[in-house]
């Protein structure tokens, strides 16, 4: 059994299965994804979370400079939208939606936030969705935090939350600015793009109440080439042995009751290179049944896995191996 391996999940208090997992001793943390809530609903959600005694520790995720759709403008011919942050980029340029599965050609940017596309992506785009622009000229301008995110931080602190994730961290300045809002609370800095990796390589220094996270949901989209993801993961854990790794874990369990071989081998590889804190992504946690399967599989892996340094405690013949 590997006793130092921890599992976290992404939930929201209004989910029907939140209470079940908030009391599950096999979990070490629950991430509250602030992108899932709007306006006054946040107070109601935090009230629900506060009402659960002896809950698994709650971590509040703040979006920072992550690009989100603030408004979709009706247009029968072309996609038009307003972003939450002003940007600059050379156009025309490809923009990626739906975890990079749905591209569209951005034609113009007006006033930094008004984007007009040539046609649009294949699927509909909705308020609150994230998007990716990978061109070298791309920059996010303006303040790190929108007024809406500042309000969410204030509400989270009012309800006693002291653990935070910060998305798209690219410099120590981002951490310092976030500290002005959360004080000495724990910060997990999510590394989600190439500039974030440069911060890890050149600037990051371990400090109390600060750790990194290889946030692979966006990082895998944002890196230059897909085959560079192992190198990125090794960099993060080498610079911070307490780092987390999240998203794209056990995804075969969204539809299947038995995990794919690749899912189990990935858990072992991540653990073997040093990751002891792993987090499941939003999609796997939306419904109770697939999440329960994932927690069960992860716990079984944690109980049965033997590290390369351990000597086998049992001798297997071919016959008794096949009976396992």
* CATH hierarchy code of domain 6-65+144-186+207-304: 3.20.20.60
pLDDT in tens, 183-215: 999 999 999 999 999 999 999 999 999 999 999
CA distance 65 to 248: 22
pLDDT in tens, 220-243: 999 999 999 999 999 999 999 999
As separate numbers, helices (DSSP H) first and strands (DSSP E) second, the chain gives: 11, 16
pLDDT of residue 1: 82
Report residue 148: phi and psi, to 5°. Answer: -65, -40
pLDDT of residue 201: 98
Query: 139-157 burial, b for 16+ CB within 10 Å, e for fewer?
Result: ebeeebbbeebeebbebbb
Quote the Cα angle for 145-147-153, to 5°. Answer: 70
pLDDT above 80 for 37: no
- From residue 230, alpha-carbon distances to 191, 315, 317 in Å are 14, 33, 35
Give the side-chain half-sphere CA count within 13 A for 194: 14
pLDDT above 80 for 320: no
For the chain, give the percent of residues with pLDDT over 70: 94
pLDDT above 90 for 324: no
Confidence class of residue 28 from pLDDT cuts 50, 70 and 90?
very high
pLDDT in tens, 267-280: 999 999 999 999 99
CA distance 68 to 79: 15
pLDDT above 80 for 162: yes
């Amino acid at each position: 059994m590997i006793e130092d391996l921890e599992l976290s999940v992404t939930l929201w208090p209004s989910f029907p299965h939140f209470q079940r997992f908030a009391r599950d001793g096999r979990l070490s943390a629950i991430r509250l994804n602030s992108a899932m809530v709007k306006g006054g609903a946040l107070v109601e959600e935090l009230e629900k979370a506060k009402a659960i005694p002896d809950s698994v520790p709650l971590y509040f995720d703040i979006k920072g400079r992550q690009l989100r759709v603030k408004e979709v403008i009706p247009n029968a011919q072309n996609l038009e939208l307003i972003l939450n942050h002003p940007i600059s980029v050379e156009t025309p340029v490809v923009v990626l939606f739906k975890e990079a599965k749905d591209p569209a050609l951005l034609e113009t940017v007006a006033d930094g936030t008004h984007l007009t596309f040539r046609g649009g992506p294949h699927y509909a785009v909705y308020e609150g969705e994230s998007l990716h622009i990978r061109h070298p000229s791309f920059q996010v301008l303006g303040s790190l935090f929108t007024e809406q995110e500042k309000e969410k931080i204030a509400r989270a602190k009012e309800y006693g939350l002291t653990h935070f994730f910060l998305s798209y961290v690219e410099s120590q300045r981002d951490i310092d600015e976030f500290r002005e809002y959360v004080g000495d609370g724990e910060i997990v800095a999510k590394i989600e793009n190439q500039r974030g990796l440069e911060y890890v390589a050149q600037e990051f220094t371990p400090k109390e109440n600060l750790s990194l996270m290889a946030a692979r949901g966006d990082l895998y989209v944002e890196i230059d080439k897909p085959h560079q993801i192992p190198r990125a993961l090794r960099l993060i854990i080498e610079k911070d042995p307490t780092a987390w790794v999240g998203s794209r874990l056990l995804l075969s369990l969204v539809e299947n009751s038995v995990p794919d071989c690749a899912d189990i081998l990935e858990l072992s590889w991540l653990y073997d290179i040093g990751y002891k804190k792993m987090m499941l992504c939003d999609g796997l946690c939306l419904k109770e049944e697939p999440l329960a399967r994932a927690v069960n599989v992860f716990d079984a892996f944690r109980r049965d896995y033997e590290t390369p340094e351990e000597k086998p405690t049992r001798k297997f013949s071919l016959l008794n191996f096949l009976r396992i």
